[in-house]
Amino acid sequence: MIHSKTCVFLRKTRLLMLLISILAGLPKLVNAQEYVGGMLTADAVYSKALNPYIVTEPLIVPAGITLTIEPGVQLNFMVRTSLRIEGGTLIADGTENNRIIFTAHGASGENEKIWDGIVFFVSGTEFDADGNYVGGNLIRFADVKLTTTGIGLSDTALLLAEDIRITNCSYGVFLESESSLVLRNSLIDRCSYGMYIKNSGSNEISSSSITNCDIGIFFPSNNTSRFNRIINNNISNNRNIALFLSLGQSQIQYNLIHGNTVAYNNIGLHIGNGGTEDAGFNTVSGNIIHNNDIGIKLSQDKDTLRGNHLENNETGILLSRASLCVIEQNFISNSSNWGIILTDASNSNVLSNNSVLNNFAGIKVTEKDLKYSTQNQFNHNSLSGNQNEAFLFEAGPQSGIHFNSIRGRDNQLFVNRFENDLLATNNYWFTNDTLLIDQMIFDVHDDSSFGEVIYKPFLESPDPSSPISAPELVIKRLAGDQILLSWLPNVETDLAGYKVYYNTDDGASFNQVIDVGMNTDFILGGINFGNLIAVTAYDTDADGNSDQTEGHESDYSYAIPGPWAGSDAVVCGDVFYSTANATAIEYTSLLWTTQGDGIFDDPGALNTIYRPDPGDKIFGSVILTLTTGYGNLLLSDSIEVSLDGVPEVFAGNDTIINQLTGYYTELATAANYTRIYWETSGDGFFGSDTLLLTQYMPGPGDIETGLVTLTLFLESGCGNISDALHLQIFPAYRLRGTVHSGNSPVYNAAVVALATDPSGSRAVDMVNAAADGTFIFDALLGNDYFLYAIPDPEGLSGKKLPTYYAGKTRWQSAYLMSLTSEVWDVDIHLQDAAALLPGGNGSISGSFHILGDAGRGNDIYLRQWFEWQPVAGNTAINNPAVNHVVLLMNPSLSHIFSWELTDVDGNFSFTDLPHGNYRLWGEKAGHINSLSPVITLSPGNNTIDNVQLLQNQKQIEISVPGAPDIDDGIFRVYPNPASEMIWINTGRVLELPIEVKLISSSGKVVRTFTNDQAVADGLKGIDISNLAVGIYLLEVTLADGQRFLKKVSVVR
């Protein structure tokens, strides 16, 4: 049924819409606006086009009706109006850039709260098993402001609200009557009550900010509210209390308050209000609570405070009328009053594994109105650095104080001002001296009206279950542009290491951390000496998660400035020592002392002169100590001055250079000097003539004469010396070119420069072509060169052949370039491989090795030519020919079908070959190939393995298993390849004397037979069973001096 007023309103609305349509073509004089209110009778959609919507009376969404509010819509509510979801559904889903606005209409200021908010009754929201929104009520990316209550839920209503902002309201959120809210990533600001929760449970408030309210979150008394999750929020800058669980006869229980930042409130977390029958079973864990008057005030029974980090509060934790609670693994530091207070009949609580550090005072147990706090346990806590008492007991009896680590001032550190004795055995006092421990304790022995502190037996080292203590005496020293850190080692038996922290923005947390292991010193560079630096210790249970609150990592121990005497120095016996390098910052006193018999010109000056005396000189060195005062500490550092240093200098070996790359003085050495410098006999220049290791570039005169002398001069207190080296300068030139494949550049081709001389050709350099195919050799000595371009086998392999300049595939016909000036236009066009028949299933594989010394230039082949290649290993074992080209050709050697580049073991393999006849060719400039046996692939002989290419000096020999050797008319070796024995078959009787040798690929003679007729006649085999796999040479020398060679392949 529609109310009569609603009908009048709807008729007026229709007339207004008609008028709008008539005037649509007229110039726009005012903003569009829509007047709404009353009970909806059908689903409605509010769109941005009709902004603003003026709500003239409560807008009601009844059961079965859905109101959808699109992004960018603005609703202005008149006095005492509201949006009421009475069983219906509200979907107000804005976007980050088009938020939905709910605000007061015509409000004159930010504090005029004239409308009554968005209220839900009965209506709900649906979630899937993972907590994701499925349907029902939703408010997202919306602003609610200037209302008495921003959002209210009642009568079992359920709502998902994400990314909303509620500001300037009396109540930001009001929850009652078994309603539930899921609030995420939102802001509640400048309200009286940020959230008011009564008889409402299972709420989730996460990742939100609740700020600048009178009370952030309030649970009033006479209230049942359970299983709420208040996690990862910022609840700060509230005028009174960040979160207040008030009691009375309430059942505010089983709630989780975790991971929140609570700062700059009067009271951070106020749990309970001292009512009766107030067992809470609430958990307050992992919160960061700082800069409040009271960090946590606990006035409820059977709660747990675990793993909270409380810093810079006036009082860290206050227990008042709280009993049977667990207070564990909390980190309480820098409180201006007490770290922990128990008062007003706070009984039978267990405080364990807490770190109470650097507060005005540690833990106080007292009474209020003669209601004493009793039977509490204090076990495995760490109390250190507190200015006054670590423990003060003004109430009792207690259940025991055991396994704590207690460190602080020398007297009245542990105080009993109550008539009962205190059992405080098995604690660690950081000393085993009972006289010192007695001095730390105040009890009946100091005032007979108080009880005794019974501390024996005590621990001789910290209990591993107690929080680890902070390192002591962390000192930073300025040494040039570096900061030297040192500290005393911790005594814990479960110590695992230390961490150095630096680079802080707020003085409380750090941006940089370095794990330095078990070292008790460290060097920092690149930071200002005045920066805050701290060191912590951690134990074997540290895992990087909440270690400080769990007691597995200590509090920060901040570095204090100390003196640096300088680095150990060497001077001559008759020369004084200057302390010019020593540093001292922020000191109240300073004094130099010596262990020797020398004297300081002024022992009270930082920079002074030490003059050794005969006793120092006889001993050969002296220890000098610099001591400074800092507060009530005396800090020292020492230096050893050796008195017998002799200067030494070596300029380097004479060598050959070129004019393009110059010379780097990497072999130069010098010791015991005060100054070094280089001089040249020519007109070149040094990168820096005062550095030992520097670059020299020859000048025009140097290049013209081809010779220059460099001299390294050394000055020291023990005399001046020098040394020289001679450089021969050979001209070098740049060579630039391009590798082509047809009309396209070839990327990443390996271009090898091979120099020729009377002894042959050798590789001198290799560069890879750039993306545009260009390559450049920066400095090639004047010489004759072959240029050989090998395409990347992963790219053009099998399509384009390795090619010499200019356009030749074998070196005998390639162009030999005489390099006498810079060359910029070398074009290497890769040749095409001859076409093969369609692919088959045949394969030819083998290896390429070098017999004896690989010669100069082999290091070029051992480089990594392409990124996909592994780095060559130990090539000295079997001398593989790495990065050598093997060609697959027809029997007449007129066509090249394909090619392979040998791998780091010298292996190659041709696959997918059609049946036919082939020969192999080992292509290497300056080397002659022997004729390869014909290799036949057929249906019955698809695979040919163990083909051997052997470089023997300038000859490349090729052997194929099963193919006959070229007949030399004298003798054969069989079987070949072989694994156990080989025989010689001469076909005729050979006359003595005769010598047979078997030679390895490295040139070593492994078998010798002299005048052995049986071997010569083939009646006696040669045992090769214990020889390594590889290529060997069988050398036979006849009586007439003839010498014959046969390759032998040893296989397994």
943-954: average pLDDT: 90
How far is residue 220's CA from residue 171's CA, in Å, rounded to a whole number?
A: 13
The residue behind tokens 């036979």 is 1036
272-276: average pLDDT: 73
- Tell me if domain 650-730 and domain 842-959 are identical in fold: yes
Q: For residue 207, give every residue at least 6 positions away whose Cβ sits within 8 Å of its Cβ, in sequence order, or none.
A: 184, 185, 231, 232, 233
Q: For residue 524, give every residue at least 6 positions away whose Cβ sits within 8 Å of its Cβ, in sequence order, or none.
A: 482, 483, 485, 500, 502, 533
Closest to 607 (Cα-Cα) out of 569, 577, 568: 577
pLDDT grade, residue 974 (50/70/90)? low
How far is residue 681's CA from residue 782's CA, in Å, rounded to a whole number?
A: 25
Q: Which of 769-778, 935-944, 976-985, 987-996 has the highest mean pLDDT?
A: 769-778
pLDDT, tens only, 91-140: 999 999 999 999 999 877 777 888 999 999 998 999 999 889 999 999 99
Per the structure block, which two tokens stand in for 348?
């039978």
Q: What is the pLDDT of residue 23?
A: 42
pLDDT grade, residue 835 (50/70/90)? confident
pLDDT, tens only, 424-437: 999 999 999 999 99
- HSE-up of 754 (CA within 13 Å, CB side)? 24
pLDDT, tens only, 547-578: 988 889 998 999 999 999 999 987 775 678 89
Q: What is the pLDDT of residue 1028?
A: 85
CB 535 within 8 A of CB 498: yes
How far is residue 143's CA from residue 99's CA, in Å, rounded to a whole number?
A: 7
pLDDT, tens only, 285-339: 999 999 999 999 999 999 999 999 999 999 999 999 999 999 999 999 999 999 9
How far is residue 294's CA from residue 337's CA, in Å, rounded to a whole number?
A: 10
Q: What percent of the chain has pLDDT over 90?
A: 67
Name the least confident of 29-38, 213-222, 765-774, 797-806: 29-38
pLDDT, tens only, 202-241: 999 999 999 999 999 999 988 899 999 999 999 999 999 9
Name the least confident of 329-338, 832-841, 885-894, 903-912: 832-841
Q: What is the pLDDT of residue 644?
A: 66
Q: Return the higher-pLDDT residue of 803 and 1043.
A: 803
DSSP letter (8 states) at residue 941:
B
Characterize 366-403 residue by residue with b for buried, 16 or more Cβ atoms within 10 angstroms of its Cβ, and e for exposed: bbeeeebbbebebbbbbbbbbebbbbbbbbbbbbbbbb
Look at residue 16 and tell me whether its pLDDT is greater than 50: no
Per the structure block, which two tokens stand in for 503?
């680079």
How far is residue 920's CA from residue 946's CA, in Å, rounded to a whole number?
A: 13
N- to C-terminal Cα distance for the chain? 101
CB atoms within 10 A of CB 961: 17
pLDDT, tens only, 666-693: 999 998 788 999 999 999 999 999 999 9
| Average pLDDT of every residue of the chain | 89
Domain 472-561 has CATH 1.10.10.60: no
Per the structure block, which two tokens stand in for 44?
């409605």
Closest to 885 (Cα-Cα) out of 993, 977, 763, 979: 763
CB 357 within 8 A of CB 382: yes
- HSE-up of 990 (CA within 13 Å, CB side)? 28
CB 67 within 8 A of CB 42: no
DSSP letter (8 states) at residue 1000:
-
- Torsion angles phi and psi, residue 1041, rounded to 5: 95, -10
777-790: average pLDDT: 92
CB 592 within 8 A of CB 580: no
- For the chain, the domains span 35-200, 214-322, 337-467, 472-561, 569-642, 650-730, 732-832, 842-959, 972-1050
Q: What is the pLDDT of residue 717?
A: 66
pLDDT, tens only, 356-405: 999 999 999 999 989 999 999 999 999 999 999 999 999 999 999 999 99
Per the structure block, which two tokens stand in for 479?
């040494």
Look at residue 991 and tell me whether its pLDDT is greater than 70: no
How far is residue 820's CA from residue 817's CA, in Å, rounded to a whole number?
A: 9
Look at residue 875 and tell me whether its pLDDT is greater than 70: no
Per the structure block, which two tokens stand in for 258?
């975790």
pLDDT, tens only, 240-258: 999 999 875 668 999 999 9
Name the least confident of 195-204, 454-463, 797-806, 904-913: 797-806
Q: What is the pLDDT of residue 1002?
A: 63
How far is residue 492's CA from residue 191's CA, in Å, rounded to a whole number?
A: 50
Q: What is the pLDDT of residue 275?
A: 62
Q: What is the pLDDT of residue 178?
A: 94
Q: What angle do CA 303, 465, 534 make, to 5 degrees?
A: 95
Residue 585's Cβ-count burial label (10 Å; 0-12, 13-18, 19+) is: middle
CATH homologous superfamily, domain 842-959: Immunoglobulins (2.60.40.10)
Structurally, at CATH architecture level, domain 972-1050 sits in Sandwich (2.60)
Q: What is the pLDDT of residue 4?
A: 39
Q: Which CATH class is domain 650-730?
A: mainly beta
pLDDT, tens only, 444-479: 999 999 999 999 999 999 999 999 999 999 999 999
Strand-pair partners of 91 = 68, 138
Fold of the 732-832 domain = Immunoglobulin-like (2.60.40)
pLDDT, tens only, 734-745: 999 999 998 899
Question: Parallel, antiparallel, or unpaired: how do β-strands 482-488 and 521-525 relate?
Answer: antiparallel
Name the least confident of 199-213, 796-810, 1014-1028: 1014-1028
How far is residue 990's CA from residue 757's CA, in Å, rounded to a whole number?
A: 41
746-755: average pLDDT: 94
CB 164 within 8 A of CB 117: no
Residue by residue, DSSP assigns 55-88 as EEEEEEEETT-EEEE-TT-EEEE-TT--EEEEBS
pLDDT, tens only, 595-650: 999 999 999 999 999 998 888 877 878 999 999 999 889 999 999 998 866 788 99
Q: What is the pLDDT of residue 14?
A: 46
Closest to 786 (Cα-Cα) out of 765, 769, 770, 800: 765
pLDDT grade, residue 5 (50/70/90)? very low
Q: What is the pLDDT of residue 839?
A: 79
H helix or E strand, kind and range, residue 9: helix 4-22
19-33: average pLDDT: 48
Fold of the 569-642 domain = Immunoglobulin-like (2.60.40)
Look at residue 724 and tell me whether its pLDDT is greater than 90: yes
